[in-house]
């Protein structure tokens, strides 16, 4: 599989398109586009590469990660796939958006598919796999997505380059987050690339050596 990173909205949120080059199918992880031109940028990338979107995945449902969710679900005629613990946040996204400067309408009417810890997703007939790992602590329902063939992990706001997700928001739990990062993410080999929800990419090895929250 290949991965394309976009940086969307005024929170500088990372959105990823993960696709199988041979099968021409893809998943969008965290459709965070806030402005119309960002929606167009994402759609044009999909179209110009001849891709069919078969999954829309959320690492978690904070408003900066779902700013473009309705546009994506309606454009590609797909449900949103997330952990069921994230549904409450999804329903609150409009209210949080008002407080944080996002123009996000109601999202509680979107169809949902639910994933659990250790689920393995495939995209159509493609043999490419996406492994789901439950990593709450930043917020309820947080997931990391492991791409084993590519030696990558999409960590959302659980793990960043040199840092971890904040835990002072509703549903946050510092001890739980540290435990889940260590037991579900840091067990991966050092060479795995870390694709976070914000900021620069990293590797498991680099975080193991230098992340002050984990050393």
What is residue 215's predicted lDDT score, i.e. its pLDDT? 80
Residue 94 lies in a domain: yes
What is residue 123's predicted lDDT score, i.e. its pLDDT? 84
Evaluate whether 208 touches 202 at the Cβ level (below 8 Å).
Answer: no
Evaluate whether 62 touches 33 at the Cβ level (below 8 Å).
Answer: no
What is residue 124's predicted lDDT score, i.e. its pLDDT? 72
What is residue 94's predicted lDDT score, i.e. its pLDDT? 86
What does pTM read for this prediction? 0.95
- Count the neighbouring beta carbons within 10 Å of the beta carbon of residue 170: 10
Q: What is the CATH number of the domain that holds 81?
A: 3.60.15.10
Q: What are the mean pLDDT values of the chain's consecutive 10-residue runs (215 residues total)?
A: 96 97 95 95 97 97 96 97 96 86 88 97 83 98 96 98 96 97 98 98 98 92
Residue 119 lies in a domain: yes
Residue 127 lies in a domain: yes
* Edge-to-edge order in the sheet of strand 25-29: 2-8, 13-20, 25-29, 52-57, 80-83, 112-115
What is residue 128's predicted lDDT score, i.e. its pLDDT? 82
Coil, strand or helix at 24 = coil
* Distance in angstroms (rounded) separating the CA atoms of residues 185 and 96: 28
Residue 215 lies in a domain: no
Residue 170 lies in a domain: yes
Residue 72 lies in a domain: yes
Identify which of 152, 205, 198, 165 has the alpha carbon closest to the alpha carbon of residue 27. Answer: 152
Strands 112-115 and 80-83: parallel
Question: What total number of domains does the chain contain?
Answer: 1
Evaluate whether 15 touches 5 at the Cβ level (below 8 Å).
Answer: yes
Residue 122 lies in a domain: yes
Evaluate whether 82 touches 46 at the Cβ level (below 8 Å).
Answer: no
In DSSP terms, 198 is beta-bridged to 13
Residue 62 lies in a domain: yes
In angstroms, the Cα distances linking 147 to 73, 84, 152, 207 are 23, 22, 5, 18
């Amino acid at each position: 599989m290949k991965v394309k990173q976009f940086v969307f909205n005024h929170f500088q949120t990372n959105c990823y398109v993960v696709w199988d080059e041979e099968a021409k199918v893809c998943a969008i992880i965290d459709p965070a586009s806030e402005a119309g031109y960002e929606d167009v940028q994402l759609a044009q990338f999909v179209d110009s590469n001849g891709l069919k979107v078969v999954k829309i995945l959320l690492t978690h449902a904070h408003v900066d990660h779902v700013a473009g969710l309705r546009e994506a679900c309606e454009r590609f005629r797909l449900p949103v796939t997330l952990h069921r613990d994230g549904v409450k946040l999804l329903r609150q996204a409009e209210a949080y958006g008002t407080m944080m400067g996002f123009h996000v309408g109601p999202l509680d009417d979107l169809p949902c598919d639910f994933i659990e810890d250790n689920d393995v997703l495939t995209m159509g007939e493609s043999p490419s796999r996406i492994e789901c790992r439950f990593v709450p602590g930043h917020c309820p329902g947080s997931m990391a997505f492991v791409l084993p063939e590519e030696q990558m992990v999409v960590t959302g706001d659980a793990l960043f380059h040199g840092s971890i997700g904040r835990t002072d928001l509703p549903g946050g739990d510092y001890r739980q987050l540290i435990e889940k990062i260590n037991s579900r993410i840091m067990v991966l080999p050092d060479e795995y690339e870390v694709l976070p929800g914000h900021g620069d990419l990293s590797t498991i090895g680099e975080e193991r050596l230098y992340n002050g929250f984990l050393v």
